[in-house]
Amino acid sequence: MAVIVVGVDHEHASLDLLERVSIPEHRWGKVLRDLVSQRNIHEAVFVSTCLRTEVIATIDFFHSAIEDVTRTLAAASGVEESELSDLVTVSFDRGVARHLFEVAAGLRSVVPGEYEVLGQLRRAFEVAAEEGTVGPELTELFHHAVATGRRVRAETAIARGTTSFASAAVALALEGVGDTLAGARVVVVGAGQLASGVARSLIGLHPPLGALIIVNRTLARADALAASLEDPRVATADLTALPAILGDARLAVVAAESPTPLISTEDQRALPGPLLLVDLGLPRAVAPCDAPGVRRLDLDDLRERVDAALVGRREAVGHARSLVEADVERYLEGRRGRGAAPLVTAMRERFDEIVAAELARRAGELTDWTDEQRAELASVVRTVVSKIAHRPTVALKEAAGSEHGVRLGESLRTLFDL
């Protein structure tokens, strides 16, 4: 049995695709049930955030499992399977542990060391446990990954300073407006996971904002986000009201995807100012403009800020990677010791069944034999079969935890119908 990760993430896919393939938590259970209903998938954990949607699964056959997972994600998200197939990334066996441990440590995040991802992984595992889609393999893998994430944050300085994409965006905004938004009206455009993180960061500011307006193309989604914030300062509006709302705002953060700018050059020229626009969209959601009193920051500015913050953390990132690599090796060494055992047991039990069935079938031909002779025959046959099984057993144990070991396992399952 092998372990794979199949999914899309911010390192390889656009924010637009990530938004479309993202699945809300109340639907994770259905995704998990659909996954394990596939004959080839035995255990599964589903992770879906604004920056990654991934399935971690134990499987029998590699290529068909990728197809099963991709088809399930396409059905759940409404994204065409052909589009997903071109963009999914796959980690296999040893690469799974490295990938998951690095994710847990915050090394695969936009802002290295961010804390949110550790809670997201824990929650994904909890939901899978509630649905009964995890067993010993993924339970151990996730426990080790979370432990590594905690260790990296405790033993290195990687988590120093800004520790989330949303909070980094808000910090950038605060720098742009002069470190305070006390009493100001702020607008968040969008109602997805990124917009939610930005809104929560803004609501938690001290001194507090005066008002937060959530603007979204679908008003119901804006209302749902506002309700989850449980704050009387939060109001909602649809996109048609955005130009008027911007006139009284001090800051607007656009965390939405659109093929054309949501805030045009004309919109900006009509504003009285001063207004800071933070554009987190790809493609750009705010048109370029030189209107007086209006300033625009985008993802390039955010990356520069993160890079600047990381200058003092380069050593910490290197230290974190070395801790992760050591933990991956420890995990894999332990897994190798256990990995071949179930298949070896199944193979030997299968051989014993064949021997017992054949001896029983031929018992009528041995009526002239004494009990001692029949016992001797059975012993000889079992010894021969054991010697035949010896080399496959050794090969499985030596290759356990590797791609070669998985191929051997697949071959044995096919040859002996295990």
Domain boundaries, the chain: 2-155, 165-310, 340-416
Q: What is the pLDDT of residue 147?
A: 95
Q: What is the pLDDT of residue 162?
A: 53
pLDDT < 50 regions, the chain: none
DSSP H or E segment with residue 275 = strand 275-279
The residue written with tokens 């894999």 in the block is: 332
Contact 98, 37 (CB under 8 A): no
Q: What is the pLDDT of residue 292?
A: 87
Find the helix packing angle between 116-131 and 94-104, rounded to 10°.
120
CATH architecture under which domain 2-155 falls: 2-Layer Sandwich (3.30)
Non-local CB neighbours of 22 within 8 Å, separated by 6+ positions: 48, 49, 50, 53, 77, 192, 193
CA triplet 182, 186, 188: central angle to 5 degrees? Answer: 145
Q: What is the pLDDT of residue 338?
A: 63
pLDDT in tens, 358-384: 888 888 888 888 888 888 888 898 889
DSSP H or E segment with residue 132 = none
Beta strands in 35-166 (DSSP E): 41-48, 52-59, 89-92
Amino acid 121 reads L
Measured from the Cβ of residue 101, the count of other Cβ atoms closer than 10 Å reads: 26
pLDDT in tens, 259-300: 788 999 999 999 987 899 999 876 678 998 888 889 999 877
Would you please indicate which residues are annotated as catalytic (active-site) residues? 50
Task: List phi, psi (to 5°) of 188.
Answer: -115, 120
- Domain range 165-310, CATH class: alpha beta
